[in-house]
Amino acid sequence: MAYLTSAPRGTKDILPEETPKWQYLEKTLLETAELFGFREMRIPTFEHTELFSRSVGDTTDVVQKEMYTFTDKGDRSVTLRPEGTAGVARAALEHGLLGDALPLKISYDITCFRYEKPGSGRYREFHQFGVELYGSPSPAADSEVLALAYECFQVLGIQNVALEINSLGCPECRKRYTQALLDYFNQYRGSLCSTCLERLDRNPLRVLDCKSPEDKRIAAGAPSILEYLCDGCKAHFQEVQDRLTAAEIPFRVEPTIVRGLDYYTRTVFEMVHTAPDGERLVCGGGGRYGGLIEELGGNPTEGIGFAMGLERVLSIMTAEGCDFPPEQTCDVYIASMGAAAGVKAFQLANLLRSEGFFAQSDLMGRSVKAQMKYANKIGAKYVIVLGDTELEKGEAQLKSMRNGGTSPIKLDASFSDTVYETIMENAYADLEEAAAELGLPPQDHRH
């Protein structure tokens, strides 16, 4: 029965110590996207299997090997979403959002599921934050999405991330390039891995993605897509770069980026983190797609978007020592002795909570000593002890756990105001102390 107490392979629990980091990360990303006009959409965890096989592309690893697909009790084939783009496109079509004012800008923050070999940052359930911009074929849209990708890393304080961009051209450029790739790789049929031999027949671009060192070496000498772009695609790619340069957004042109999914045309990009030891980690990527909406039955509509893996972003932030907001702890713990005091403690804690304080009282029937130990453990900033004497007097002591200082507090309608004033007084005193330590002149903060 050991499996009852261990999570399925490739999944991960996020424990209460870690959730503040996740909440901060997700909130920051969604708010940053909002500044660019992207509004959040929430989509189902599973969709009809065909949605992914048609949109992600059935020659991709994601569709061929990694999907969590099952037949439900109604005999329908459904799949846990391996990515967000297909679901968002389906929802935009279903709800007629593409007929409204364009461009349509959508953000999402979701879990994704891929049956991959877990390890080195790969999970079977993981989190993606992403955006999609629909309705603009202009390079202005590409630069807007790239600017947002860059800004996301800036606001999180991540230093060593670079945008690497490439153009995959239009289907015409792709056709000519695919032929050129076939001609090139055909010379190396004897050396390529067996997966790449299959890829060569289905989609030669995918060979450029292979991780095997020998295939990588061969791929390094392959022709570059940039030599096969038509004039329109060349001009588009140039304008994307000109706009990024104008906005002082650093980027690198990297002709080997082909991205794992079939639906991309023209601009594709990756967000690559380089650690001090030189190790590169792709933590996000995206690109422009032309055929997706049409493939799903809509009018031809251009889209461009990106997704980033939040597990990777978090581990990069941790490695770089990025700042996270301090964790909120209990403001006031109200300890009590005896049944009547217990009820009063509950009543006052509830009052404080309705005023927005973090407040707790005893739920275990423990001794005052044990309650104080607990208050210490949860990092309570202030404690109040209630017993019969305090109830009779209608007054208790509000004690600072930091410096041990106490102030009287009436257990009446003025209670939460006194808590507020005491916390503020102490905060000012701390501020003044810190200012004095820094040699700053004293100031009157009490306006």
Binding residues (CB under 6 A) for ligand AMP: these are 83, 114, 116, 121-123, 126, 128, 260, 282-285, 307-309, 311-312
In the bound state with ligand AMP, the residue whose beta carbon lies nearer, of 269 and 415, is 269
The neighbour count for residue 415, using CB atoms within 10 Å, is 19
DSSP string of 368-401, one letter each residue: HHHHHHHHHHTT-SEEEEE-HHHHHHTEEEEEET
Alpha helix (H) ranges present in 157-230? 171-186, 194-202, 213-220
Phi, psi of 270 (to 5 degrees): -135, 150
Residue 259 C-beta: closest distance to ligand AMP, Å: 6
Angle between helical axes of 19-35 and 139-156 (0-180°, round to 10): 150
Rounded to the nearest 10 degrees, how much is the dihedral formed by the CA atoms of 128, 134, 136, 137?
70
Q: How far is CA 105 from CA 48, 129, 151, in A?
A: 24, 14, 16
Toward ligand AMP, which CB reaches closer, 126 or 357? 126
Cβ-proximal residue to ligand AMP, closest one: 309
| Min separation Cβ 142 and ligand AMP, Å | 17
Nearer CB in complex with ligand AMP: 255/260: 260
Nearer to ligand AMP, 51 or 375 (CB): 51
Least CB distance to ligand AMP at residue 31 (A)? 21
Supply the minimum distance, in Å, between the C-beta of residue 164 and ligand AMP. Answer: 12
Least Å distance, CB 414 to ligand AMP, is 53
Q: Which is nearer to ligand AMP, 79 or 128 (by Cβ)? A: 128
Of 78, 130, 88, 87, nearest to 108 (Cα)?
A: 130
β-pair type (406-410, 39-40): unpaired
> Considering beta carbons, is residue 123 or 228 the nearer one to ligand AMP?
123
Instruction: Work out whether the CA dihedral 302, 35, 240, 225 comes out positive or negative.
Output: negative
Q: Which is nearer to ligand AMP, 218 or 316 (CB)?
A: 316
Residue entry with tokens 């969590």: 68
384 half-sphere exposure, CB direction, 13 A CA radius: 34
Q: Which two tokens stand for residue 308?
A: 């980033």
The least CB distance from residue 111 to ligand AMP, in Å, is 10
CB of 289 to ligand AMP, least distance (A): 12
